[in-house]
């Protein structure tokens, strides 16, 4: 299916928001789509960034050097059509779960995208985000989150006044609430190490859900 580009919003030299028309497409917050240029035959998988009640589809995309899809999408003009298929995946929170559970969302980089979708969809969800980034410039759309529920771990910024280190370093220093539901999204190494740390600290494997960004 082809969908028109509505807007490209730059967040940093390497990251942007792609906004597409929604038409009549339905999705669950946290699901993903395959996106590529029209007739290119090449696409990549991206998690939904927008909420289910918004009249458009948004995706948080990191431009990969010499990437055949991410670089080309960034150059797309409003009105240009892209190829989109989906939604796919079970990395989701249902309306009932959002009402009755406590959540901790753990992300690295653009892995925060599905959590943005959760929060835009369920504004009253009881959540906490632990976000691992390299520099303060990667604090994407932080104004959309409750600052008291957001912890940022920065690994490569000497001027950062908050926690300095990786997400996994931070998890080692805190008490883990085993009653929370944990969603992990980002690079594979973070997910593997965080999963092991959560299990050691008493979280059931049934309460941990993962989505790897390669």
Rounded to 5 degrees, what angle do the CA atoms 169, 171, 177 make?
175
Quick one: CA torsion of 35, 208, 110, 60, rounded to 10 degrees?
40
DSSP classification of residue 95: H
Residue 99 pLDDT grade (very low, low, confident, very high; cuts 50, 70, 90):
very high
Q: Do 44 and 21 have their domain in common?
A: yes
Q: Total domain count for the chain? A: 2
| Cβ–Cβ < 8 Å for 185, 210 | yes
State whether 103 and 200 are in the same domain. yes
pLDDT grade, residue 184 (50/70/90)?
very high
Band (pLDDT 50/70/90 cuts) for residue 187 is very high
- Is residue 53 located within the same domain as residue 151? no
Q: Are residues 205 and 103 in the same domain?
A: yes
CA neighbor of 64 nearest in space, from 7, 20, 17, 15: 15
Last residue of one domain, picked from the residues 44, 67, 88: 88
Domain of 143, in residue numbers: 95-212
pLDDT of residue 169: 96
Q: Which of 73, 88, 103 is the last residue of a domain?
A: 88
| Average pLDDT for the chain | 95
Identify which of 179, 174, 177 has the alpha carbon closest to the alpha carbon of residue 163: 174
Q: The CATH number of the domain where 43 resides is what?
A: 2.40.30.10
Domain edge (last residue) among 63, 88, 113: 88
Question: Helices (H) and strands (E) in the chain — how many of each?
Answer: 5, 12
Q: For residues 116 and 199, state if they share a domain.
A: yes
Residue 87: cis peptide before it, omega within 30 degrees of 0? yes
What's the pTM value of the predicted model, to 2 decimals? 0.95
Q: Are 82 and 37 in contact (CB under 8 A)?
A: yes
Looking at the fold, whether 78 and 151 belong to one and the same domain comes out as no
pLDDT tens digits for 150-159? 999 999 887 8
Q: Are residues 117 and 189 in the same domain?
A: yes
Q: What is the pLDDT of residues 32-71, one digit of tens each?
A: 999 998 877 788 999 999 999 999 999 999 998 777 899 9
> Would you place residue 114 in the very low, low, confident or very high pLDDT band (cuts 50, 70, 90)?
very high
């Amino acid at each position: 299916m082809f969908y028109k580009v509505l807007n490209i919003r730059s967040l940093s030299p390497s990251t942007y928001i792609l906004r597409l028309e929604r038409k009549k497409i339905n999705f669950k917050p946290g699901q993903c789509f395959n996106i590529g240029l029209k007739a290119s035959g090449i696409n990549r998988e991206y998690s939904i960034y927008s909420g289910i009640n918004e009249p458009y589809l948004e995706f948080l995309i990191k431009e990969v050097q010499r990437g055949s899809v991410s670089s080309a999408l960034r150059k797309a003009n409003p009105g240009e059509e892209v190829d989109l298929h989906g939604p796919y995946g079970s990395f989701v929170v249902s309306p009932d779960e959002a009402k009755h559970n406590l959540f901790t969302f753990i992300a690295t980089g653009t892995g925060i995208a599905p959590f943005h979708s959760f929060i835009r969809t369920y504004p009253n969800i009881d959540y906490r985000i632990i976000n691992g980034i390299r520099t303060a410039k990667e604090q994407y759309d932080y104004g959309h989150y409750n600052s008291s529920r957001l912890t940022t771990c920065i690994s490569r910024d000497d001027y950062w006044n908050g926690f300095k280190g990786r997400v996994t370093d931070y998890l080692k220093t805190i008490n883990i609430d085993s009653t929370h539901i944990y969603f992990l999204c980002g690079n594979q190494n973070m997910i593997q190490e965080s999963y092991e740390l959560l299990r050691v600290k008493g979280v059931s494997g049934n309460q941990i859900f993962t989505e790897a960004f390669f």
